[in-house]
Every structure is written in structure tokens, then in C-alpha cells.
Amino acid sequence: MTHESASGHAPVPRFEPYKGPAAGWGALKSVAAFWLDSKQPIRNIRALLKTNQNGGFDCPGCAWGDDPNGGRVQFCENGAKAVNWEATKRQVGREFFARHSVNELLQRSDHWLEYQGRLVEPMRYDAASDRYLPIGWDDAFALIAEHLNRLDSPDQAEFYTSGRASNEAAFLYQLFVRTFGTNNFPDCSNMCHEASGVGLSQTIGTGKGTVTFDDFAEADAIFVFGQNPGTNHPRMLAPLSEAVRRGAQVVCFNPLKERGLQRFQDPQAIHDMLRNGSEPLNTAYFRPALGGDMAAVRGMAKCLIEWDREAQEQGRAAVLDWAFIEQHTQGLDAYMGVVRATSWEQIEAQSGLSRADIEVAADTYRKADNVMLCWAMGITQHRHSVPTVQELVNLQLLRGNIGRPGAGLCPVRGHSNVQGDRTMGIDEKAPAPLLDALEREFGITAPRRPGHNTVEAIEAMARGDARVFIGLGGNFAQATPDSERTHQALANCDLTVQISTKLNRSHLVTGRDALILPCLGRTDIDWQAGGPQAVTVEDSFSMIHASHGQLPPQSERMKSEPAIIAGMARATLGNRPIDWDAVIADYDRIRDLIARTIPGFDQFNDRLKQPRGFYLGNPARERRWKTPGGRAVFSPNALPDDLLHDRIKATGQTPDVILQTLRSHDQYNTTIYGLNDRYRGVSGQRRVLFMNEDDIRRLGLEAGERVDITSLWEDGRRRSVGGFKVLAYDVPAGQAAAYYPETNPLVPLESTGTGSHTPTSKFIAIKLSKSAEQDHDRVLAAG
Ligand SMILES: Nc1nc2c(c(=O)[nH]1)N[C@H]1C(S)=C(S)[C@@H](COP(=O)(O)OP(=O)(O)OC[C@H]3O[C@@H](n4cnc5c(=O)[nH]c(N)nc54)[C@H](O)[C@@H]3O)O[C@H]1N2
Ligand SMILES: Nc1nc2c(c(=O)[nH]1)N[C@H]1C(S)=C(S)[C@@H](COP(=O)(O)OP(=O)(O)OC[C@H]3O[C@@H](n4cnc5c(=O)[nH]c(N)nc54)[C@H](O)[C@@H]3O)O[C@H]1N2
Ligand SMILES: [Mo]
């Protein structure tokens, strides 16, 4: 793969510390560059002003919720990039594919592939010429139906979903697939917040966060674990800096000193920018070991329990909220038992933090009346992520920090509708009430066998047990672990189908037959027989609202996602269990079906008319616990004995460092917008390895030289990636960081979270060696 810049001119790789605040002028400059590059700046600026506004479209960026008090422009730098990226005028159609064979395209970088423009017509792979050729929509649907109906069992097909799909698309998709007869719904959530869903359902009886936007204004302390909002949820910076300004505590747990968690300049507060002032974003910053958060939070709980005991002995006010514990929880005794059994030595060793530091964090926690805990991928992509999420719940239960204003649990979701897709039934573990409702409403026999998650889908394709792969959005080949094996698994299929907006590697790693089906994006106007259609999404705060595309589509040969799903369904099932064309004519009809089958959506179409949509509600927020015992549950998990998996130890080798894979500022998951990572001071390059200076010296390396990275896993396979430039960076000793997806070849398919099956992308044991591939430009400065 070459690493060229997509726009043609070779970038100069640089590395120098970023001195500006997060957001602010730096962000505006960057947005302007992307606007101009979209080739239709004025049109896109107009579109952008409609982002997250009433009558406008939902930002195709992250799942952060809107400020319900509204008014202000509700987009951020990276949302602007997402809009410009989707709304480009460049096109990828038959001429493009006539010029490039698939093998030739495979040599291009991910950045180059997506940069070529919007996919504008359906294409079918032709193995003889190794090229994609145009195909009509009806022929494409017929081909899919032929493959699906030929399978021995519906379980031989995998139906992937990426979290941008709207509620309407997701609902139709699961109805089609379940009528067809399988629960094989691998989705991006399996690689993302799965552990949050699992951990929360088991403890508070709902898999979603309990807070809404307004809680940020009422919290006395906000803890942010394993999240980089400056890049990934920039609109979160405003409530965080506002919290600090009014005297609340914002406490960060992150091994990297993320710029976006330190200083912030609000791009919407013009006076802030004119004086180039900036607001601090945190009041304390702890830098744990990778995977050390469970131990750190256990330490905090240990402090609270101990302080409560002392308070009781001395007749002072209790530290724990005993009234809440007695009325609302179960399992405290067993939990206290494991807390007592957890030694400070183990807590310090595993968390990478000192007891004194943890006591500071616990004291901040104790002094705050209302505490919110926020978290993202630094928590969920570990082997013990479910117990870690449960430890966050344990902490909150100790002081009743759930179900009152300014307090609660806030898993900050990724894709803009990943939460909604689950609500609509994109779930391989098919909840029985949903299946019952589908059977009742549609007269189908819904499959009851659990389906495949993402990792199981890869395994099934690799074994030859699954033979058709259909991807509703996303980039399965790149987003998933163990790239070489995943690619082989996809290539093993009889048919691969990608429903996409932009060209990516998943279109190039084909089954024997392969289709590219180009779809409309969030920004595009979706015209159907009944006029322009809106779709709906659910944000991280369970707010449901409508999204109306604003820009005329690039080509008449693109279809909306619901129309594509309906086309596949009609060809495969006929008009069973619904008249597919009829619901596509007017999406209100899809919403009527949702209203009749998905809890919380009654009178869906009417309630959508409320400005800013409606709140789906969350029983745990009202202290109603949908658990088997009707109470919130303390989870008595022991800390892992060792963060290193047995299969790492079985190699007999000691890792040089532990690697986490993360996002740069210029990417959206596998979509690479550019080669810069502004806040970390990196420009013009992505193949970099952030390392601690002592580790660089210890391993006999030099900053600026290139290394090959090999991961450790006992299964006889060699997993390595080459030519990563070592950057001396302020990371704790023993850790390293590099960008995803370039590092996915290192993540073993079997290295997954217990109970979540999420690949452990934030904990990869690696060895380093000097690379044969060296260059002469040296790093300009150390971070
Ligand atoms: N612009 C942009 N926005 C996005 C995305 C994008 O790619 N680009 N992706 C979207 C998606 S799907 C998601 S899921 C979210 C992801 O949002 P994030 O979770 O913020 O994404 P990551 O870049 O994976 O960052 C993980 C952060 O956790 C820290 N970390 C890693 N390991 C640990 C650990 O063991 N403990 C602690 N305490 N911290 C740790 C890392 O240093 C890093 O700051 O963002 C969404 N929004
Ligand atoms: N090593 C490592 N791996 C990871 C992660 C990590 O942190 N480290 N993070 C994981 C996480 S959190 C996630 S969520 C997954 C992401 O996994 P995915 O969701 O599968 O990947 P994306 O990169 O978001 O998908 C990008 C593609 O989606 C298509 N697309 C964009 N917009 C639309 C649309 O509106 N409709 C349709 N149909 N297609 C569209 C475009 O063709 C684009 O190329 O990756 C996971 N993989
Ligand atoms: Mo995600």
C-alpha cells in the first residue's frame, strides 16, 4: 500500500508540539481547508448551517446530543469535515472503474480510496477483467436474492450494520433479515460500546446511558474515562469547559495528555477567539496504565467504603448513600467482600497510579453531591471491559449517583445512530419481546437462535459456514481485527455486497461475486414517490429526532438505504411480510410499523413534530431497575489476575510495550480525511508510533527511526506491520499508541472482551524491531 496524499502533492511529515487550545482558530482554519477541497464550498456552508437544526439533518459525525436549549449553530470542526467529505462533487462511477482494476486499487491508501468521491451507480465485480462493471438495480437485487435463496440455511448469510444507518433503514433491515430467517447481525457496536451495553443491562437493567444533555449543567463533578472528546466528540468540550467555569470538577483518566481535554477555545464564542483566550477543561488529570481503570475505580470505591466506616465510628455523616443502597440495590455485602480482598498493592500495580493519587480522585468524588461518569473506547476495548463498566456502576451506586439531576452514567457513543440501530433490533442476541412483537405484527416466525456478532461472523466466513456477506454501510474489511484473516474470510464468500457512500477497502476484498450499491447519505435529499423523506436517529442521550437531507443527490442512480433494503427484500421474499414498495413511498409508513413493534415509539410520527424530537426515556434514570431482582446490582468482580492474556504469556516472550490503537484528528474511523493529527502535533503522516522516551532508549531505538511491530499471541501466526516512525511522546512508560485502522493486522481475532466479544484494540502486546524501511527526515522536535 502506498502512503501518498490523496490530493496529489506529497505532504511533508512533521512532528512538533501543538501549542494552541482545542477547537478555536486552529479548528476554523482546518474546516476552511476541507470546505475548499470539497469543490462546492458555498453549497456545503449552506448545508452545514442546517446541521442538527430543526428541519435540517443530523450530523453524520458522532452521536453527541444537541443542546436542547438550541439556538446556536450546532456543529463542530469534525462534523464539518464529515459533511464536506460526504458532500463532495467528485464521483466514482463506471469511468473510474474502467480506469482502475481492483488489484491496482488495492495498492492505494485508505485515504486515497475515499477521496476519489461519491459512489454514484451500482457496480458488479467481474473476475475475468478484475474490474467493477455497471449493473442495473433490478439485476443487482436479483443476484442477491439468487445467492440468498440458494443457501442451505439462512444462518449462512451475515448482515453487517454500521452505526450511521437511520432508524428506518435499520428497522426494515432487521425485518427483512429476520423474515429471511437469521439473527446474524454483526455490527460496529460489537467493536465499540458492546461492553457498556452488556455491563449496564446486567446492573441497572438498561443498556443505555442515564443522563441527558442538561445534566452536564448540574453536575458537581464529571469524570471522563478513556475518551478523547477534542477529536471525537468536539461538541462535548463546551459543556465540559462550562462546568469548569462554574466551579465543577472535571476529572480525566487518560494515559495520554489529550490536548482536547486540557484547554478549549469555543469556536462559537467569538470574544473568546478574538482575545485568543481559552478555558481550562479539567481540574485533575490521571494517567493510568492501559486497562488500569478498573483497578483505579476499585481503589476509589475502597477509599469511600473505608471513609464511611471511619465516619460511622466517629459519629460523622455517612459517606455512602445508605438510604439509596437499602432502597434500590442488591449485592452490597458480596461487593464489599471483594473490595476488602483487593489489596492496595494490586490496585497500584494494575492501575499504574499511586494510592495517594487514587485518594485524591476519591476525595473529589466524595465531595461532589452529583457525579457523572463519562467513558468511551479506552474503557470498552479491553478484555475486562464488562467488569470495568460494572465497576463504574458500583462506584455510582455507593453514593446514589444515578437517577438524580447532574448525576449518572454516560457512555459516549460513537456513530451518529449506533444507539438507534440497537433500539430498532440490530442485535444478534435478539431480545425475546422484540421477536414476539415481530411475530404478532407481521405473522412471521422469527428465528430464536442467537446470531453471529462481528468476530463470530468472521470466524464463520473463514470456516466456509457463512457464504454471503451484506454490509449496510461501514468498512468491515478495515474496521475489524486480524486484517489478513478477515480479508481471507471475506474472500471466501460466494457473494459480498457493500451498501456505501464512498469507496473503501471492503469493496476491494471481494467474494467470488461482489456488488457495490451506492446509497444516499445524511446530507442528500431523499426523494421518494411521496415526496422528500426524513429519517430519524437516536443520540447518546436517547433523544429521537428527524434528519432531512439538504443537497440534491449527485446521481439518479443512487438509492436511499431504505429503498435498497426494500429492493433486496422484495427480490428475496416477494411481498412478504409487507408491501416493501409501499413503505418506501412514504417513510411515515415505516415509522408506523416501528410504533407498533418497538417500545417507546407509540405515535412516532406525531411526536416527531415536536421541535428537537422526543426523549425515549430510561427507566434507570427514574430509579426503576429492569433487572431480574428489580434492583440495581452491585457486581462483585475480582480484578483480573494479570492483564496479560495467557496466550500472550504462552509465547514465552515479554512484550516490549503495550499498544493502544486510537483515532487521529483527521479521521472518522476508517475514513481518513487527511494526514494530520493537530493536537498531537503530527502532520503529513499516519504511520507513527507514539512512545515514551525511556522505552525508546531501553529498547535501543532512536526517535525518528522506523520500526516493524509484531504482536504476541500464541497460535503460530505472525502478525506484523512495518515502517512505523517512532515519535518520542509524553506517554506513560511501558505504553505505546498508534492509529487504527493501520494497526488492525496486529489484533488477534481471538483476543476479545469477556462477555462483550469486542476486540481488545486498546491492549495489544507488541515487540519492536528496526525496520528495513528507513528514511532520512528526522523528527523536528520531541513532544
Ligand atoms: N472525528 C471523529 N469523531 C468520531 C470518530 C472518529 O473516528 N473521528 N469515531 C466515532 C466512534 S465510532 C467512536 S466509538 C468514538 C470514539 O471516541 P474515543 O473513545 O474518544 O476514541 P479513541 O481515539 O479510540 O480514543 C480513546 C481514548 O482513550 C484513551 N485510552 C486508551 N486506552 C485507555 C485505557 O486503558 N484507559 C484510559 N483511561 N484511557 C485509555 C486514549 O488515550 C484516547 O484518548 O468517536 C466517534 N466520533
Ligand atoms: N484497532 C481498532 N479497531 C477499531 C476501533 C479502534 O479503536 N481500534 N474502533 C472500532 C469502532 S469504535 C467502530 S464503531 C468500528 C467502525 O466500523 P465501521 O462502522 O464499519 O467503519 P467506518 O469507518 O465508520 O465506515 C466507513 C464507511 O462507511 C460508508 N458510509 C459512510 N456514510 C454512510 C452512510 O450514510 N450510509 C452507508 N450505507 N454507508 C456510509 C463509507 O463507504 C465509508 O467508507 O471500528 C472499530 N475498529
Ligand atoms: Mo465506535
| Secondary structure (DSSP) of 646-699 | HHHHTTT---SEEEEEE--TTEETTEE--S-BGGGTEES---EEEE-HHHHHHT
Within a domain: residue 397? yes
Asked if residue 313 and residue 214 are part of one domain, the reply reads: yes
Q: How many residues does the chain have?
A: 783
Report which protein residue has its CA nearest ligand 2's atom 22: 474
Regarding the beta carbon of 667 and ligand 1, being less than 6 Å apart is answered: yes
- At residue 149, does pLDDT exceed 60? yes
Ligand 1 pocket test target in 262, 294, 662 with most atoms within 8 Å of CB: 662
Distance CA 757, CA 660 (A): 17
Cβ of 677 closer than 6 Å to ligand 1, yes or no, is no
What strands, in cross-sheet order, belong to the sheet with 22-23? Answer: 22-23, 263-265, 279-280
Residues 156, 119 within the same domain: yes
Is 71 found in the same domain as 100?
no
- Give the CATH number for residue 247: 3.40.228.10
| Mean pLDDT, residues 138-165 | 98
**Per-residue model confidence as pLDDT tens digits over 427-474:** 999 899 999 999 999 999 999 999 999 999 999 999 999 999 999 999
- Is 580 found in the same domain as 437? yes
Averaged pLDDT, 639-661? 97
Nearest ligand to the CA atom of 388: 1
663 lines ligand 1 (CB under 6 A): yes
Pocket probe mutation, ligand 1, options 83, 293, 377, 747, max atoms within 8 Å of Cβ: 377
Residue 440 Cα to ligand 3 middle (Å): 33
- Number of domains into which the chain is organized: 4
Beta carbon of 258 within 6 Å of any ligand 1 atom: yes
Give the closest residue to 752 by CA, choosing from 380, 293, 430, 226: 380
CATH label of the domain that carries residue 451: 3.40.50.740
pLDDT band at 538 (very low <50, low <70, confident <90, very high): very high
Estimate to the nearest angstrom the gap between the alpha carbon of 523 and the chain centroid: 20
For ligand 1, the distance from its centroid to the CA atom of residue 279, given in whole angstroms, is 22
Query: Ligand 1, residues 663, 686, 689: which to mutate, most atoms within 8 A of Cβ?
Result: 663
pLDDT at 18: 80
pLDDT higher than 50, residue 229? yes
The Cα-based distances of 731 to 15, 290, 453, 659 in angstroms read 15, 11, 33, 11
Does residue 616 lie in a domain region? no
In this prediction, residue 255 has a pLDDT band, given cuts at 50, 70 and 90, of very high
Report, as an integer, the average pLDDT of 132-148. Answer: 98
Does 272 score more than 70 pLDDT?
no
Cβ of 377 below 6 Å from ligand 2: yes
Check if 521 has its Cβ closer than 6 Å to any atom of ligand 2: yes
Ligand 2 atom closest to the Cα of residue 86 is 32
* Residue ranges near ligand 3 (ion) with Cβ within 5 Å: 192, 414
Helix ranges (DSSP H) in 444-500? 454-463, 476-479, 483-491
The C-alpha atoms of residue 374 and residue 225 are separated, in whole angstroms, by 6
Which numbered atom of ligand 1 lies nearest the CA of 253? Answer: 38
CB of 380 closer than 6 A to ligand 1?
Answer: no
> For residue 196, what pLDDT is reported?
98
Nearest ligand to the C-alpha of residue 229?
1
Q: With bands split at pLDDT 50, 70 and 90, how would you rate the model's confidence at 82?
A: confident
Pocket lining: 500 vs ligand 2, CB cutoff 6 Å: yes
Atom of ligand 1 nearest to the CA of 78: 1
Identify the weakest region by mean pLDDT among 57-66, 434-443, 617-626, 737-746.
57-66
What pLDDT score does 65 carry? 83
Q: What is residue 275's predicted lDDT score, i.e. its pLDDT?
A: 61
Q: What is the mean pLDDT of residues 529-544?
A: 95
Which ligand is nearest to the Cα of residue 729, counting in written order?
1
Buried b (16+ CB within 10 A) or exposed e, 362-396: bebbbebebbbbbbbbbbbbbbbbbbbbbbbbbbb
**Residues 392, 292 share a domain:** yes
Whether residue 221 is found in the same domain as residue 166: no
My answer on whether 676 and 760 are in the same domain is yes
Burial class (CB within 10 angstroms; exposed 0-12, middle 13-18, buried 19+) of 574:
exposed
Q: What is the pLDDT of residue 85?
A: 85
Q: How confident is the model at residue 42 (pLDDT cuts 50, 70, 90)?
A: low
Using an 8 Å Cβ cutoff, are 689 and 707 in contact?
yes
Q: From the CA of 251, how far away is ligand 3's center (Å)? A: 23
Q: Which range, of 41-45, 75-79, 154-158, 348-352, averages the lowest pLDDT?
A: 41-45
Q: Is residue 78 part of a domain?
A: yes
Q: Ligand 2 in contact with 160 (CB < 6 A)?
A: no
In a domain, residue 180? The reply is yes
The pLDDT, as a whole number, for residue 385 is 98
382/301 same-domain check? yes
Residue 38 Cα to ligand 3 middle (Å): 25
Least confident span in 107-121, 252-266, 519-533:
252-266
Tens digit of each residue's pLDDT (9 = 90 or more) over 592-602: 999 999 999 99
The last residue of a domain, from among 416, 440, 475: 416
In a domain? residue 536: no
pLDDT digits (tens, 9 = 90+) for 280-297: 777 889 999 999 999 999
Ligand 1 within 6 A of CB of 81: no
Residues 6+ apart with CB under 8 A from 733: 692, 694, 695
The pick from 256, 667, 669 for probing ligand 2's pocket by mutation, whose C-beta has the most ligand atoms within 8 angstroms, reads 669
pLDDT at 778 over 60: no
Q: How far is the CA of 30 from the centre of ligand 1 (A)?
A: 20
Distance separating alpha carbons of residues 523 and 501, to the nearest angstrom: 11
* Boundary-marking domain end, from 416, 434, 468: 416
Q: How far is the CA of 192 from the centre of ligand 3 (A)?
A: 4
Q: Whose CA is nearest to atom 47 of ligand 2?
A: 479
Task: Report helix, strand or coil for 118.
Answer: strand
Same domain, residue pair 246 and 369: yes
Of the residues 58, 86, 114, which one is the last residue of a structural domain?
86
Confirm if 241 and 266 have CB atoms less than 8 A apart.
yes
Which pTM was predicted? Answer: 0.94
pLDDT interval class at 780 (50, 70, 90): very low
Instruction: Pick 89 or 456 by higher pLDDT.
Output: 456
Band of residue 1 on the pLDDT scale cut at 50, 70, 90: very low
Rounded Cα–Cα distance for residues 83 and 323 (Å): 49
The answer to whether the CB of 291 is under 6 A from ligand 1 is yes
Q: Regarding beta strands 764-770 and 706-711, do their DSSP bridges make them parallel or antiparallel, or are they unpaired?
A: antiparallel
User: Helix 194-204 and helix 385-398: axis angle, to 10°?
Assistant: 40
Is 47 inside a domain boundary?
yes
Tell me if 404 is assigned to some domain: yes
Report which of 255, 250, 291, 285 is spatially closest to residue 379, judged by C-alpha positions.
291
Instruction: Give the residue-averaged pLDDT of 674-691.
Output: 95
The answer to whether 689 touches 709, Cβ cutoff 8 Å, is yes
CA distance 285 to 278: 18
Cβ atoms of 383 and 332 within 8 Å: the answer is: no
Regarding whether 220 and 168 lie in a shared domain, the answer is no
Please give the Cα distance from 448 to 456 (Å, whole number): 17
Provide mean pLDDT across the span 581-603.
97
Ligand 1 neighbour 293 (Cβ under 6 A): yes
Strands 764-770 and 657-662: antiparallel
Q: What is the pLDDT of residue 782?
A: 34
Using CA atoms, how far residue 668 sits from 198, 390, 603, in Å, is 25, 28, 35
CA of 265 to the centre of ligand 3 (A): 26
- Answer positive or negative: Cα dihedral of 389, 395, 400, 406: negative
Asked if 387 and 264 sit in the same domain, the reply is yes
CATH number at residue 760: 2.40.40.20
Rounded to 10°, the helix 167-180/432-442 angle is 80
52 plus 82 within the same structural domain? yes
Across 110-136, average pLDDT: 97
For the chain, give the mean pLDDT.
92
Domain contains 640: no
Handedness of CA 599, 380, 57, 613 (dihedral sign): positive
* 353 CA from centroid of ligand 2 (Å): 33
pLDDT band of 576, cuts 50, 70, 90: very high
User: Nearest ligand to the C-alpha of residue 233?
Assistant: 1
HEC readout, 391-408? HHHHHHHHCCCCCCCCCE
Percent of the chain whose pLDDT exceeds 90: 81
Distance from the CA of 75 to the center of ligand 2, in angstroms?
A: 20
Give the 3-state secondary structure percentages of the chain, helix then strand then coil, rounded to 5.
Answer: 40, 20, 45
Atom of ligand 2 nearest to the CA of 502: 42
User: Which three three-digit cell numbers place residue 402?
Assistant: 444515578
Domain encompassing residue 377: 195-416
Q: For residues 350 and 288, what is the distance between their CA atoms, to the nearest angstrom?
A: 9
Question: pLDDT class for 78, splitting at 50, 70, 90?
Answer: confident
